[in-house]
Structure 1
C-alpha cells in the first residue's frame, strides 16, 4: 500500500548541524561523573564503555532523559560530590553543543557555506518529491522545540512539514511514541500507510511496534552520504526494514514507499 505520511527524525537524519554531538556528550558525561577523582585504568575503561553503550542505546530520546541517566550515574559512582539535577546538566551540555551549531549557522549566514552543506545528500529533492506526491511529512525530535524549528528554518526545509515536534522546554514529556500514535489516530492511518525515517534505535523500534515501515538512515554525518557501519549495526538490531545512508537513490525510495 502507498505510504500516506512520513515521520522524520531530524538531527542525523536530515540535518547535520548537530553532527558531532556525541563528541560533546561523551567527555561532558565523564567529566561530570568523575570530577577530580583519579581513576584506575580498569575504572577508566569501564566508565568509557558504559557511557558509550548508554549513548548508543539512547540516541533519539529527549536529551533531558540522557541527563537524568547522568545524574543517576554520578550519584551511584560517588566520585564527584557535586551532583546537579538533569536540567542543569542539560543546560551545560546544550551550551557546549550550541557553540558549534551557532558557528555553522554563522558560516551559512556569511555565505561561506550553503544550506545543502548541512543537509543529508538528496534531502531537498526527496522532500520535494514527497510533497509533489501528496505525502504528508512531519518531524519528531528530542532536540528542544524552539531549536529544531529554528534549525529547520535555517536549512530551508521547515515549509515541507505539516508539523514539527521537538522537546518542550523545561518539560520531560515529548514522546516520539505519543507523536506516532496521535498521527495514526488523528489521520485515520493504518500502520502500513505510515513510514518512519530515522538514525536512532528509538524511532525504529517504535515504528516496528506500531506496524509501520521503519527506514533506518545509517548516515555518515561527516560526508553526508553513504552508510555508516556503526549506525547500520545499531539500526538492524532495532529492527529496521531497510537501511540506507542518504536520499540520493530516489528510485529506491519510491519503491520502498510505494509511490
Structure 2
C-alpha cells in the first residue's frame, strides 16, 4: 500500500474501471499497440538507428500518458503522427487504425477466453487478487457498483461475463462502437447529475489517470490501483507514479487487504 490520503466518508456508489483494475484479460495491450503504431508511422521506410529510437520513445511516452482514454483518441494521435512524419504514404483515419489495433489485441484476448471456456485456466487467473471478495463485501454493504471502460461496450460486457463478475454491477458501460465519446465522463456525470448522488458519496477506483482526474473534478473519492497485471498483486511503480501525479487520494496494488479498503470507504 502507498500514497496515504484523507480518510474517506462512507460512500454509496462505487465506479470501477475494468481493464487493469478488475480484469487482466487485456494485460499487455501496450506491447500490441506500440509495434502497431511503429509500423503505421514508418511504413516501408528505412529509418536510421536514431530515427527509430526517437520514434520508439515518442510512442512509448504517448502510450504512457494516454492510458485510460478511449482507443479512438489514441488512434487519432496516430493519424497525426503518420502525417507529421511523412514516411508512410498510406494514412488511415482513426477508425481504420482502431480496427487494425483491435484485431491484433483480440487475438490475444480471444486466446485467453478460449482457455477459460475450455477449463484449462480459471477466471481467477485473469482477475486482480482480492477483487471478487472485495466486490462481495461492497454488495453486502448495499453499495451500488458500476463499471466504466474505454474498451468497446460489447467487449467489456462479454469479458465481465466470462470472468463471472458481471452480476455485481448495476450497469457496465463501455465505449460506444463507432462513436468517440468518453464513457467514464458520461457515467460519472450521470451518477452525480441524473441519479441524485453527491460527489462525496461516490468512490472511483481505477488504474488510470483519467478516472482519477474525473473523480477529483466531481468531488468524489479517487482510489488508485497501481496494478501489476502480470502478477495480479503488488504495486506497479510506473502506475503508482502516474496515479499519484493524477491526484489519487490513496493507492494500492491489489484488493487483498479488505479491511484497509473498507476503511477508505468509511466502513470501520
Question: C-alpha displacement at 1:44, in angstroms?
Answer: 1.7
CA contact (8 A) 2:24 2:127 kept: yes
Pick aligned residue for 1:204 from 185, 190, 212: 212
1:169 match: secondary structure: coil
Residue equivalent to 1:35: 43
Question: C-alpha displacement at 1:49, in angstroms?
Answer: 1.3
Superposition RMSD on alpha carbons, in Å? 0.9
Residue equivalent to 1:164: 172
User: Deviation per CA, 1:78-110, whole angstroms, max 9, x where unpaired?
Assistant: 011100011111111001000110111111111
Residue equivalent to 1:255: 263
How far apart are the structure 1 equivalents of 2:205 and 2:87? 40
How far apart are the structure 1 equivalents of 2:240 and 2:181? 28
Q: Gaps (5+ residues) in structure 1?
A: none
How far apart are the structure 2 equivalents of 1:216 and 1:174? 19
Residue equivalent to 1:19: 27
* Larger CA deviation: 79-88 vs 166-175: 166-175
How far apart are the structure 1 equivalents of 2:37 and 2:209? 21
Residue equivalent to 1:132: 140
Using the size of structure 1 for normalisation, the TM-score is 0.98
Q: Confirm or deny that 1:62 pairs with 2:70.
A: yes
Pick aligned residue for 1:77 from 69, 80, 85: 85
Residue equivalent to 1:107: 115
Q: Across the two proteins, how many residue pairs are aligned to each other? A: 259
Residue equivalent to 2:16: 8
* Larger CA deviation: 184-193 vs 219-228: 184-193
Question: C-alpha displacement at 1:136, in angstroms?
Answer: 0.5
* Larger CA deviation: 177-186 vs 92-101: 177-186
Using the size of structure 2 for normalisation, the TM-score is 0.95
How far apart are the structure 2 equivalents of 1:148 and 1:36? 35
